[in-house]
Amino acid sequence: MSWIQKLYETYNNSQSMIGAGTDDNEVPLLPICHTTQKAQIEITLDGHGQIRRARVVPKEEARTIIPCTESSGGRTSGEAAHPLCDKLQYVAKDYKHYGGDKDSYYESYFVQLSNWAESEKNKKVQLICKYIERGSVISDLIENGILVDDKNKKLLKQRSGEKDKKAGLDIFDLLPGKIDPKTKKVTNWQADAFVRWKVEIPNDPQSAVWSDQEILKSWVKHYSSTKESKAFCYATGEEVFSADQHPAKLRNDGDKAKLISSNDMSGFTFRGRFTDSEQVASVGFETTQKAHFALRWLISRQGYRKDDLAIVAWATSGASIPSPTDDTFSILGADDLVSDQAPRAFTAQDVAIKLKKKIAGYGKEISNTTDIVVMGLDSASPGRLSITYYRELTGSDFLQRIDDWHTSCAWLHSYRSITVQDERTGKSKPKFIPFVGAPSPSDITEAAYGTNRDGKFEVDGKLRKTTVQRILPCIVDGQPIPRDLVESAVRRASNRVGLEGWQWNKVLTIACALFKKHNRKENYEMTLDPNRKTRDYLYGRLLALAESLEEWALNKAGEDRPTNAARLMQRFSEHPYSTWRTIELALTPYKARLGGKSKKRQRLIDDVVAAFENGDFTSDKRLSGEFLLGYHCQREFLRNSRTEDLDDSSESTETSNNN
């Protein structure tokens, strides 16, 4: 029950955020006894309960906070009606008259709404109840041009004819298409539309019922008064009204999986040991609502979500903290990495200083003893959600481990971008921003197991979930990177087949970061280390030098094709000595093409060969991932060196004159 208590505490510390952020991209922190739904129709009433107008709700405005009961908040189907806003199947008395093909739940909806209206005497609720009782919801919507019927006064199940583009949005654009089992055609059943309300009363600027605080409080008060039985809450240790059901929709609006459920009457969860679910464990009604709503809000606001996996980290105080699933680019932000200087002018030390300052900034918001929780959620079935990872840390421990991960697994990457406007065309385009730091778990997964699909990385969903969950303890608990994951990334970086240029470069730099992290005792530098004499590092440098020389010659001749070093990279990693002889012999025509200009690079190759210890150069033993570090460092050194430092054109001219 520790997780419930921490979430309950977080909710109470974040009261000011209740109801904030109701756009389509962010789930708000909900008041208890409420949930969210995507509305397609909005009906506006006047101060006498008469319909004033209606409109189709655009998708970006569709998310709506609505009152709910414990049953309706977790319903998948059936009679559990929401008390105020709901589908036409519930709110429309004339649903069957216009061809509704499902059971009508108008009676239960109206009884619940009228009980609320009589109990709390809220004027807007009373006006909605008065309008509903007339039984003309669908006919009014047809009259206002929102719904469309046929000559038999039945709602159409699909748009008749082509849509007039000038007419704008209509109800058929918003409803999900379904396949009719009889006709096998895609239908958009208008009767499935969800309705929300506005009530315009003179001198009351708040007409939207979903943002009216008086209505929200009124429903909480009314519904709480209907609770009867009390029980011991295992989360708070108090005698409170017990929860009958627990909220769903934790990861997204369509998520039906629950963390807590008891369905013994049908699923035999506890039969044979207990007579009812409360004997297993009971949680207070208010406690579970606050805990689940806080978790849903946190996942939407700052969590990692992919497939069925959700990971979130938070401070119970409500303070902002870095996410363990973010890379260094996301933590620092583009503004801290973009410079007016040359894009590669910054150093690893510069970024490390910025990162420490950023983390120190988080430290000012949270104390050393602030409770930090990291939680992972996954579901094996549509109805059951499990906690796959859970850690409680102090603020100082959490920030120290985040800092350690981003410094020990750091490398120079160039696959992140921001969107900028082209000055010449005015169109948006990506601008790649090099950054030094640790990759995210998701990017690590793509580097190790991703395949190219239409210019994007594709990874099996189960494999992605498993890999991200394996990496999480390496960040939060300081555990070593799994060796098989490092080796997989190294193998992928050694084989360019099937990857586009940017994809391979991403895999290469991430593989270097993982190998450096896995072998942190070696103290590898992110810049070229001319004093490192290990066999694998030197062979990596040789490969980069050979590739650079051939690229230079190809560019000079206007040829665009892979170099021999690139094509033979995988073979080189397995049999370096024998493959190097092939690569070196293939360089002969390119040396001739460049003439004396290539002498300095040839001397660099000779210097690297001379640096090998006795017997290391002639050994054909397979290379470790260290050769990628040597390769990448040498390549970056050549790219960032001045042209005159590597060009022997002046020397070659002098030599030819003497001859």
Each residue's pLDDT tens digit, 28-87: 899 999 999 999 999 999 999 999 999 999 988 998 999 999 888 877 667 889 999 999
Angstrom distances, CA of residue 231 to CA of 73, 236, 244, 265, 270: 22, 11, 11, 21, 19
From start to end of 163-219, where are the E strands? 178-179, 186-187, 194-199
290, pLDDT greater than 50: yes
The type of residue at 192 is: D
Position of tokens 């410079």?
Answer: 339
Tell me what pLDDT residue 85 has. 96
- Are the C-beta atoms of residues 383 and 260 closer than 8 Å to each other? no
Quote the CA–CA distance of 490 and 507 in Å, as a whole number.
Answer: 8
pLDDT at 470 over 90: yes
Per-residue b or e along 123-153, where b marks 16 or more CB atoms closer than 10 Å to that residue's CB: ebbbbbbebbeeebbbbbbbeeebbbbeeee
Whether the per-residue pLDDT at 304 is higher than 60: the answer is yes
What's the CA gap between 455 and 374, in Å, rounded?
Answer: 33
Instruction: Examine the pLDDT at 338 and tell me if it is beyond 70.
Output: no
Res 363: pLDDT: 83
pLDDT value for 14: 92
- pTM for the model stands at 0.86
Which of 143-157, 276-290, 505-519 has the highest mean predicted lDDT (pLDDT)?
505-519
Q: What pLDDT is stored for residue 143 in this prediction?
A: 93
State phi, psi for 292 to the nearest 5 degrees: -70, -40
pLDDT of residue 442: 95
Q: For the residues 308-316, what does the mean pLDDT come to?
A: 95
DSSP state string for 248-311: --SSSTT---BSS---HHHH-SSBTTBSSGGGT---BHHHHHHHHHHHHHHHHHH-EEETTEEE
Q: Which of 264-268, 432-436, 484-488, 645-649 comes out lowest in average pLDDT?
A: 645-649
Domain ranges within the chain, ordered by starting residue: 1-18+227-302, 31-226, 321-522, 535-658
Q: H-helix or E-strand containing 21?
A: none
Residue 345 has what pLDDT? 37
pLDDT for 23 equals 56
Residue 252 pLDDT more than 70? yes
CA distance 292 to 537: 52
Q: Over 60: is that where the pLDDT of 342 sits?
A: no
CA atoms of 375 and 336, how far apart (whole Å): 29
Model pLDDT for residues 412-457, shown as the tens digit of each residue? 999 988 888 887 888 888 888 888 999 999 999 999 999 999 888 9
Q: What is the DSSP track for 130-148? A: HHHHH--HHHHHHHTTSS-
Q: What is the pLDDT of residue 167?
A: 62
> Is 658's pLDDT higher than 60?
no
pLDDT of residue 520: 93
Q: What is the mean pLDDT of residues 540-551?
A: 96
Helix, strand, coil abundance in the chain, percent, nearest 5 = 45, 15, 40
Mean of the per-residue pLDDT values for the chain? Answer: 87
According to the per-residue pLDDT averaged within each range, which of 166-180, 268-282, 299-313, 420-434 is highest?
A: 299-313
What confidence score (pLDDT) does residue 655 get?
34
CB burial class (10 A; 0-12, 13-18, 19+) of residue 158?
Answer: middle
Strands 51-56 and 41-45: antiparallel
